[in-house]
Structure 1
Amino acid sequence: MPRRSWVLWAAAALTAVAPALLFWVVSVVTGDDGSRTYITMFQRSCLGWDIHNQILLWVYPVKAFPLFSYGGAPLIVLGFVGWCLSLRGGRAGLGRILGRCVAVVLLALGLPDFLLPTLDVALGPVCLDAWGPPERFSTQIAWGLYDCVAPVLVLFAVRVPRRAYIRRGPVIRTTAAVLAVTAVVLLPAASAPPGRVSGERELDCAGFGDGTVTGLSAADKRFLCTVRGHDRPYDLGVEGWDEVSDQDVLAQGRHLCALATRHGGDIAARAVSEAPQASLAGALADLCPAVAGAQQAEADRRQAESDAYVAQKERACAAHPRHRPKVLPVRQRRATMWTEFWTIDGWEEGYEGEGDPPDLVEDLVGGGRGTLAIWAADEVGHACVTAESYTRRPPPETRGWEEVVEVGYESPTGALALSDGDGTRLRGLTTRGPGSYRVRVHLRGRELVYQVAYPPDGAVELLVQVFPGTAKKPVVYK
């Protein structure tokens, strides 16, 4: 194995990885991760810029693949291993082919960053505004040239040195391959109509199958629908992007997706949240699998936490002894009920939210026509509720309860049910259909809730007894 080739392979790998190492050192020393992105609202059609926006759709996902990280250093190392094994096996030609393939791939990824701005410069100064300020344009040209150094070193590493001048067949073939790959990638993109801003019907945002836009994936269309505010009623979309062309929106979305993918799909990562196109992050899950996966994982985690939290409170309520009434009720129901506004409510169909909620007697229970309210928590919390229905008045019970209050209630439909903010309903409380009833509420645990910021699970217990009665005045037993 020639020493010259070893040195060139090593130089190629170091050249590829050097920028990443430099940026890492700078970020450690200064605390700046070096993420800088330029966004433009350039609307003119320029060949180089239009092609650049099209190839972003596939270049950034490819560059995000681990094999192409660190400037393609892993790919260069892999090619070097293949070259070494080929030489040891006596198949030098195969080694040269592997090295040239590595170089062609890296050149195909790096050359557009140099060639496309140069193309627009050649076409005239008008299109330079698309590439940003002069310093950014110069930086892109410089990095585009730098990215070509490593693959060129690989080509020299696998080249067989000859003392006499001969026709450079392998070099010519390699150059032709690079040009062919570039043409395959760039020419279809150049034929795409620039500046198109598709409407709601064209994108088929409603899902009725009447879309007319072609050449876009379902994910692309969903992303555009969300950005333009067509995906749900009353959504105004992402401000500032409604007049930007489809290809520019998708290109910037792909760029933001690449940033988020490098940070595990986290759109709250600093590199994503500080990017110029960060306003697109809210719609990025439609376009970016990494973001969608991260958001789904977070939603699953939160749901699991919520389920575990609710289960813990329900176990605490279930641990309380069941109430043993002095008179057998028609039915008895138990439930853990939740509130975010102090009370759990009783409603009958057609009377939900009708009028003002009833005033609470002794800040415990209030009844009206078709409406009932029972205190359950200090604004937000849960209570262990037992509801009992009777056909006649049960004897009062005060022992073991801190508060006992009874009020009148008028049932217009005979179908009173207690409801909480979590969807739990205790039905069948009125036993004789429409008419006059009394509601007696027993409570313990209120003082503990007021005394500590985080009371024990199941601290509030409520016993609600509903029975026929025509009396209107409230009665405070305790």
Structure 2
Amino acid sequence: MGLHILGTGQCQGWMHHHDLWSVPGYNLLHYRPWAIVLPAFVLWSIVRRRAVGWTTIALLTPLLLAEPALFGYDVARWGRTCVELWYPFGTRQAFWQIYDLLPLALVLAATYRPGRNVVRTAAALALLGPLLATAGDRDRPVPLSSPEACRNAARPALRSEDVQVQAVAGMPEHERRLAYLCAMRDYNTRFPGSEPLPGSAEERSDTILLHEGRRACDDERRTAPRSARQPTLQHYVYLCPDVAAVRLQEQKRTRARAAEEYKRERAKVRAFCERQVPEAVVRPVRQYTDVLMGDLMRAYHVGEAAEGTHDGEMPDDLVVSEGGMATVTTGTEDRFCLTVRAYRHEPPPDLDGWERVVEVGFDSPDGKTEITQMGTSAGFPAVTVAGPGRYRLRLHVTGRGRPDPSWGRPAQRHLLVVYPGESEKLEVLK
């Protein structure tokens, strides 16, 4: 029987021995028993009392025998399955655990030499202890997780609302455990008949997954650093909904603070962009300034592509027009300032302060053409104020290709002047 078929009720000793590491001082003294033995020897050399040895034994016994006792319980109940879980690296790892008992054996030998009756009693207890523990363990085992078991498992979707966490908290514990395992394995994401990826949740046993979930809950309670392999909030909510509820509230507050900070920073950048806009020679019907991101496409659009057309790879040209859409390339994924001026009649060109000025034509069948990015409105009002028909787009650009002087001050600025016009040709004005 391999690790991959361990059930959630198996190897409780291995699951609980990790709890020992959270006991104050255990991790330090377990690997440094001399920190107890050496002071005890110094004290014994002064007082020459056996009580020093017995006190040392009383301190070392739970420290050094707790893990072997848990290991013995697991082996007595589950056999080789738990041996592989305790010692995945073989006998070398077991040898060092036995070696760690040497200080206790030496102190015991120096303090007391047991008689024959004591030896027999200790041997009998060593044999009967695991059997009595097994008989006393009457926990109802949780069914092994499987695609069939997970198909009918209750799994309330985790949302930001507290009511979902409350629904999870109302589930019986064995249902929450199974829901956690099913959420971790997520059988629906794997193609039928395919093998699980090495190290994935499907390859690890139920026991290991539950242990990782409990560790994540404990780390969240102690606000300790979490391992990258530990389950996320969407998973460990089933094991500790009380912890998940607290974590959700913290996430809400963090997102709210980040949103407020983003709004304040964006308002500062927008104010900077507005200060950089030159005065218009002719007052426009509509003017709007905002800050945009170049995004992955490093471009934005005036209008929308006709149905069935495909943009393909972006050209190196500053602007290209096709039918009802003009595409402007920014050459950057970072922020830039964009100002739109909409007219009902052609305004005179104003080339001062701009590095490049180019004009193209485009169609506006409905007279509601907007600025878009990745098929989504960029938040600007419609640029075609004269209704349906043909328009000219005069693009002014400066700072293209230059790095931003600071994060809040974009170097690149665009000005779009849109007015009715029949010409379709591209004109380079500067």
- Within the candidate set 364, 385, 402, 1:431 is matched to 385
Per-residue CA deviations over 1:295-353 (Å, capped at 9, x if unaligned) read x79x98xx79x9599759826843743331111111111111111323222234xx488
Q: 3-state SS of the aligned residue for 1:374?
A: strand
Q: Which residue of 2 aligns with 1:250?
A: 210
Q: Which residue of 2 aligns with 1:11?
A: none
**1:100, CA displacement in angstroms?**
7.3
Contact 1:392 1:468 in 2 (8 A): yes
**1:109, CA displacement in angstroms?**
4.9
Q: Which residue of 2 aligns with 1:343?
A: 299
Aligned length, in residue pairs: 373
C-alpha spacing 1:358/1:104, structure 2 compared with 1 (3 Å): closer
d(CA) in 2 for partners of 1:44, 1:359: 52
**1:414, CA displacement in angstroms?**
2.1
The 5-angstrom pairing of residues 2-13 of structure 1 reads none
d(CA) in 1 for partners of 2:195, 2:98: 39
The 5-angstrom pairing of residues 136-175 of structure 1 reads 136=89, 138-139=91-92, 141-142=94-95
Q: Which residue of 2 aligns with 1:202?
A: 152
Q: Which residue of 2 aligns with 1:444?
A: 398
The 5-angstrom pairing of residues 98-117 of structure 1 reads 109-117=67-75
Contact 2:337 2:410 in 1 (8 A): yes
Matched, 1:41 2:7: no
Q: 3-state SS of the aligned residue for 2:414?
A: strand
The 5-angstrom pairing of residues 379-418 of structure 1 reads 379-418=332-371
**1:233, CA displacement in angstroms?**
11
Contact 1:407 1:438 in 2 (8 A): yes
Contact 1:104 1:151 in 2 (8 A): no
**AA in 2 matched with 1:461:** R
Q: 3-state SS of the aligned residue for 1:265?
A: coil
**1:442, CA displacement in angstroms?**
0.9
Per-residue CA deviations over 1:83-111 (Å, capped at 9, x if unaligned) read xxxxxxxxxxxxx99x9799669755541
User: What RMSD over aligned residues (CA atoms) do the two structures have, in Å?
Assistant: 5.9
C-alpha spacing 1:133/1:390, structure 2 compared with 1 (3 Å): closer
Contact 1:336 1:385 in 2 (8 A): yes
Q: 3-state SS of the aligned residue for 2:137?
A: helix
Contact 2:290 2:338 in 1 (8 A): yes
Q: Which residue of 2 aligns with 1:324?
A: 279
d(CA) in 1 for partners of 2:195, 2:263: 35
**AA in 1 matched with 2:399:** G
d(CA) in 2 for partners of 1:204, 1:404: 62
Q: Which residue of 2 aligns with 1:91?
A: none
In structure 2, runs of 5+ residues without a counterpart are: 37-53, 158-163
d(CA) in 2 for partners of 1:440, 1:385: 13
**1:403, CA displacement in angstroms?**
1.5
Contact 1:203 1:225 in 2 (8 A): no
Contact 2:30 2:63 in 1 (8 A): no
d(CA) in 2 for partners of 1:194, 1:359: 53
C-alpha spacing 1:371/1:225, structure 2 compared with 1 (3 Å): same
Once the two structures are overlaid, the 10-residue window that deviates more, 361-370 or 463-472, is: 361-370
**1:220, CA displacement in angstroms?**
6.5
Q: 3-state SS of the aligned residue for 1:436?
A: strand
> Could you tell me the TM-score, scaled by structure 1's length?
0.57
Q: Which residue of 2 aligns with 1:474?
A: 426
d(CA) in 2 for partners of 1:466, 1:232: 52
Q: 3-state SS of the aligned residue for 1:264?
A: coil
Contact 1:407 1:439 in 2 (8 A): yes
Q: 3-state SS of the aligned residue for 2:368?
A: coil
Contact 1:370 1:410 in 2 (8 A): yes
**AA in 2 matched with 1:246:** D
The 5-angstrom pairing of residues 16-35 of structure 1 reads none
C-alpha spacing 1:139/1:197, structure 2 compared with 1 (3 Å): farther
Q: Which residue of 2 aligns with 1:192?
A: 141
Q: Which residue of 2 aligns with 1:93?
A: none
d(CA) in 2 for partners of 1:185, 1:318: 76
**AA in 1 matched with 2:302:** G
Contact 2:196 2:203 in 1 (8 A): no
C-alpha spacing 1:397/1:142, structure 2 compared with 1 (3 Å): same
- Within the candidate set 84, 97, 100, 1:131 is matched to 84
Q: Which residue of 1 aligns with 2:39?
A: none
C-alpha spacing 1:385/1:70, structure 2 compared with 1 (3 Å): same
Q: 3-state SS of the aligned residue for 1:335?
A: strand
Q: Which residue of 2 aligns with 1:59?
A: 17
d(CA) in 2 for partners of 1:366, 1:458: 24
d(CA) in 2 for partners of 1:320, 1:247: 62
Contact 1:438 1:468 in 2 (8 A): yes
Q: 3-state SS of the aligned residue for 1:203?
A: coil
Q: 3-state SS of the aligned residue for 1:356?
A: coil
Q: Which residue of 1 aligns with 2:43?
A: none
> Could you tell me the TM-score, scaled by structure 2's length?
0.62
**1:242, CA displacement in angstroms?**
3.5
Contact 2:336 2:410 in 1 (8 A): yes
Contact 1:357 1:373 in 2 (8 A): no
Q: Which residue of 1 aligns with 2:226?
A: 265
**Identity %, equivalent residues:** 20
**1:58, CA displacement in angstroms?**
3.8
d(CA) in 2 for partners of 1:475, 1:253: 64
Q: Which residue of 2 aligns with 1:10?
A: none
d(CA) in 2 for partners of 1:257, 1:237: 30
d(CA) in 2 for partners of 1:390, 1:367: 19
